[in-house]
């Protein structure tokens, strides 16, 4: 099978889009499939295990949450810890008596009776590449550099061993499928642990790189294009003639015809194509998973196991523009609380709960194991950018489905969520559990190409989460939490784009929550038209920035949700409401209006304490005869990383602002006549558009 990792060129070092599309388990016309089909002829190791959980799972959906979710904001909240450890969120009661999750997972809390949660997994390693390698393979990394794939010495990804020892009976060429993209750490690192390693590329997971969330999702190589079935058969016959002239008597070559025939049969039968036909799913069901990148990958994963794929690895897809920032994926070095609240938990909570419930409703959960896991967790202490850093000493993961004791919490971390307090679990124990549940004895051995014998894992199945008929049914209760509190994710960069409904203006000292508009100075009861306020004007609700003294600055600002790297266009729809044309001209002579894109200077997120990325002056028109003359004004600015392999600091977050300030050198004037209507800059709506940056020959990330 073609493997991109056989190439000396690293991922994203000049790799072209066409080469991206070739990174799949099925090459053009399926000519790479025969080698994969040989797995079906090698029986799994024989073992007799007197255990009802052994072999309970026909397949696995392995959800890889790249970057490391914080245990505190997911499955292991610490409400009694100090605030710098606890964070801003509260725990909620799940539907299992005595079990709490973070309030950001209300849907998951409602199905905790289907889950087994482990709170004591440990790698004791804070490095993405080597800790991830440990979890993905079950073995500690031993080698020169875990940031680089070394096929000759890397231990196999556990899914490669599954592919070799327990291939699918229904779709043997698709025993282990990997979607939607390889693991890469920012732009320049493709870490070890995600290939078959020393087993050889024959056992690599079959990667189908693409975008299941796209309306035109297509897997390159899975269709015949303009090649008819008859023409394909002629090509197959020609290939046989060429190979027969080689004269090989190798035993593997003698069985090639059998494997090749199966490969071509799969292409012409349509079974494989249908497994990937996510467009056949009802819109309503796809909506249930969330119309997010990850949510739609989960839909596709369910289709694949339903079609007979043994193991589906679902990576967490990158968001537009999140490469080379200091909080990509789940790697929340900055703005942990904001990323969890605005993006990560809404996506995960909706997609994960939908997947488990969908499998259950279809009767598939009793034969499918769902695993949600990552390379490590996050530090107990929140850093100065509001983030949590890498933490391998203890973290959590969840399982659901076949062979798992539902409603279980196994192991515990200490009072700060820093170290295991009891029942420490290793990655080897996790892989041993997965093999056990698939019916592969964890004591099994295999031989590599040099004939050396290896144990498939050095761990043991986690007895406390296996359904061996010994545990009582968990007691359930009414779950807490609010679905309104954590709505499904949307990619709007601003929470509020206008001033309708129950929109409020908050003082700049309020901080990040509640999210929304910040203003300074706010209008008061004694000066209701001076400062910033909300008014009803010509059937519209608008923000009015009323000027008084020439030395007064006014500000209307809002924090940006999920700031990334790329091009931002910030626009406002504004005009000036004044007593007269003369008052309007006086305003223009003494004040300047500016659009600002900025970064907050500290975790207090006061927009008065900021560093401006870019500022653009604008001149709003006069509303003649008090008729709104609202006009759009825009600022455009591009943010990029300092260089290859370097992160751009999101820091404490970005914001947008409208600033009205005195013109330097303008004559001072006395306060306006309190009986006259003050001059006000009125804004009825704003917009913020984002275009992700592109890297490496227009390959979008």
Question: What's the pLDDT score for residue 27?
Answer: 36
Quote the DSSP letter at residue 648: B
Asked if the model's pLDDT at residue 395 lies above 80, the reply is yes
- Please tell me the number of Cα atoms within 13 Å of 122 on its side-chain side: 17
Distance CA 77, CA 99 (A): 10
Q: Indicate the pLDDT class of residue 104, thresholds 50, 70 and 90.
A: very high
Distance CA 311, CA 301 (A): 9
- Please tell me the number of Cα atoms within 13 Å of 242 on its side-chain side: 6
Q: Indicate the pLDDT class of residue 14, thresholds 50, 70 and 90.
A: very low
The residue-averaged pLDDT of 190-218 equals 92
Distance CA 441, CA 436 (A): 5
Q: Residue 597: name the closest of 486, 460, 493, 464 by CA.
A: 493
Worst-scoring range by mean pLDDT, 153-167, 274-288, 595-609, 681-695? 681-695
Distance CA 271, CA 266 (A): 6
Question: What's the pLDDT score for residue 231?
Answer: 60
Question: What's the pLDDT score for residue 504?
Answer: 94
pLDDT, one tens digit per residue, over 427-450 is 999 999 999 999 999 999 988 878
Q: Which of 209-223, 228-242, 422-436 has the highest mean pLDDT?
A: 422-436
pLDDT, one tens digit per residue, over 374-391 is 999 999 999 999 999 999
* Higher-scoring residue by pLDDT: 42, 91: 91
The residue-averaged pLDDT of 193-206 equals 93
Could you tell me what percent of the chain has a pLDDT over 90?
Answer: 68
- Please tell me the number of Cα atoms within 13 Å of 118 on its side-chain side: 31
Question: What's the pLDDT score for residue 174?
Answer: 83
Asked if the model's pLDDT at residue 679 lies above 50, the reply is yes
pLDDT, one tens digit per residue, over 625-639 is 888 999 999 999 999
Distance CA 38, CA 24 (A): 18
CA angle 677, 679, 680 (to 5 degrees): 110
> Domain 505-700 falls in which CATH fold?
Jelly Rolls (2.60.120)
Structurally, what CATH architecture does the domain formed by 4-222+276-465 represent?
A: 3-Layer(aba) Sandwich (3.40)
pLDDT, one tens digit per residue, over 330-340 is 999 999 999 99
DSSP H or E stretch at residue 246: none
Worst-scoring range by mean pLDDT, 266-275, 284-293, 313-322? 266-275
Cβ-contact 369, 60 below 8 angstroms:
yes
List CB contacts of 169: < 8 A, sequence separation 6 or more.
40, 308
pLDDT, one tens digit per residue, over 347-358 is 999 999 999 999
Question: What's the pLDDT score for residue 220?
Answer: 66
Could you tell me what percent of the chain has a pLDDT over 70?
Answer: 82
19 φ, ψ to 5°? -70, -35
Q: What is the mean pLDDT of the chain?
A: 86
The residue-averaged pLDDT of 514-541 equals 90
Give the domain ranges of the chain.
4-222+276-465, 505-700
The residue-averaged pLDDT of 520-529 equals 85
Asked if the model's pLDDT at residue 287 lies above 90, the reply is yes
pLDDT, one tens digit per residue, over 442-497 is 999 988 878 889 999 999 999 999 998 877 788 999 999 999 999 999 999 999 99
Exposed, middle or buried by CB within 10 Å (0-12, 13-18, 19+), for 360?
middle
Asked if the model's pLDDT at residue 697 lies above 80, the reply is no
Question: What's the pLDDT score for residue 256?
Answer: 43
Question: What's the pLDDT score for residue 548?
Answer: 72
């Amino acid at each position: 099978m073609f493997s991109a990792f056989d190439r000396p060129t690293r991922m994203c070092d000049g790799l072209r889009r066409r080469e991206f599309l070739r990174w799949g388990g099925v090459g053009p016309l399926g000519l790479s499939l025969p080698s994969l089909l040989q797995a079906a002829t090698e029986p799994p190791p024989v073992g007799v295990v007197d255990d009802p959980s052994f072999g309970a799972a026909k397949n696995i959906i392995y959800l890889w949450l790249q970057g490391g979710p914080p245990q505190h904001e997911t499955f292991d909240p610490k409400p009694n810890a100090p605030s710098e450890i606890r964070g801003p969120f509260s725990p909620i009661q799940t539907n299992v008596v005595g079990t709490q999750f973070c309030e950001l997972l209300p849907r998951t809390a409602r199905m905790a009776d289907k889950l087994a949660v482990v709170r004591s997994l440990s790698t004791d390693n804070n490095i993405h590449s080597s800790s991830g390698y440990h979890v993905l393979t079950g073995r500690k990394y031993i080698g020169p550099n875990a940031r680089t794939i070394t096929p000759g010495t890397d231990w196999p990804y556990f899914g490669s061993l599954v592919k070799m020892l327990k291939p699918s009976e229904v779709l043997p060429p698709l025993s282990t499928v990997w979607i939607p993209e390889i693991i890469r750490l920012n732009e320049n690192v493709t870490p070890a642990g995600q290939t078959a390693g020393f087993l050889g590329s024959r056992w690599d997971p079959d990667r189908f790189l693409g975008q299941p969330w796209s309306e035109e999702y297509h897997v390159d190589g899975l269709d015949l294009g303009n090649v008819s079935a008859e023409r394909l058969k002629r090509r197959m016959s020609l290939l046989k003639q060429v190979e027969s002239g080689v004269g090989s008597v190798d035993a593997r070559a003698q069985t090639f015809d059998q494997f090749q025939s199966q490969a071509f049969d799969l292409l012409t039968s349509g079974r494989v194509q249908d497994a990937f036909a996510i467009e056949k799913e009802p819109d309503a069901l796809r909506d249930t998973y969330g119309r997010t990148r990850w949510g739609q990958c989960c839909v596709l994963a369910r289709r694949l196991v339903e079609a007979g794929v043994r193991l589906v690895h679902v990576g967490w897809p990158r968001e537009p523009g999140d490469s080379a920032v200091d909080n990509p994926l789940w790697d929340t070095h900055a703005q942990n609380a904001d990323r969890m609240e605005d993006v990560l938990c809404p996506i995960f909570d909706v997609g994960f709960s939908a997947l488990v419930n969908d499998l259950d409703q279809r009767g598939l959960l009793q034969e499918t194991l769902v695993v949600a896991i990552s390379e490590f967790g996050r530090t107990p202490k929140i850093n100065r950018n509001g983030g949590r850093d890498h933490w391998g000493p203890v973290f959590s993961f969840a399982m659901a489905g076949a062979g798992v004791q539902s409603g279980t919490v196994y192991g515990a971390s200490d009072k700060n969520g820093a170290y295991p307090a009891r029942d420490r679990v290793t990655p080897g124990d996790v892989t041993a559990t997965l093999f056990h549940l698939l019916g592969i004895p964890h004591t099994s051995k295999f031989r590599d190409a040099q004939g050396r014998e290896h144990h498939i894992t050095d761990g043991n199945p986690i007895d406390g989460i296996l359904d061996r008929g010994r545990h009582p049914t968990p007691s359930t209760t009414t779950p807490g939490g609010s679905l309104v509190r954590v709505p499904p994710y949307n990619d709007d960069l601003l929470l509020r784009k206008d001033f309708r409904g129950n929109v409020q203006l908050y003082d700049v000292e309020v901080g990040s929550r509640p999210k929304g508009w910040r203003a300074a100075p706010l209008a008061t009861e004694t000066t209701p038209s001076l400062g910033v306020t909300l008014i009803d004007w010509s059937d519209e609700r608008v923000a009015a920035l009323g000027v008084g003294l020439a030395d007064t600055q006014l500000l209307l600002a809002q924090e940006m949700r999920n700031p990334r790297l790329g091009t931002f266009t910030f626009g406002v729809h504004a005009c000036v409401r004044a007593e007269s044309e003369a008052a309007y001209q006086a305003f223009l002579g003494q004040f300047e209006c500016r659009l600002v894109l900025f970064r907050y200077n500290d975790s207090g997120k006061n927009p008065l304490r900021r560093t401006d990325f870019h500022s653009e002056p604008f001149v709003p028109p006069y509303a003649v005869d008090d008729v709104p003359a609202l006009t759009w004004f825009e600022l455009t600015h591009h943010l990029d990383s300092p260089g290859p392999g370097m992160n751009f600091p999101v820091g404490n977050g970005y914001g947008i602002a409208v600033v009205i300030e005195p013109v330097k050198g303008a004559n001072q004037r006395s306060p306006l006549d309190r009986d006259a209507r003050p001059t006000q800059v009125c804004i009825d709506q704003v917009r913020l558009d984002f275009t992700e940056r592109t890297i490496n020959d227009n390959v979008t990330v």
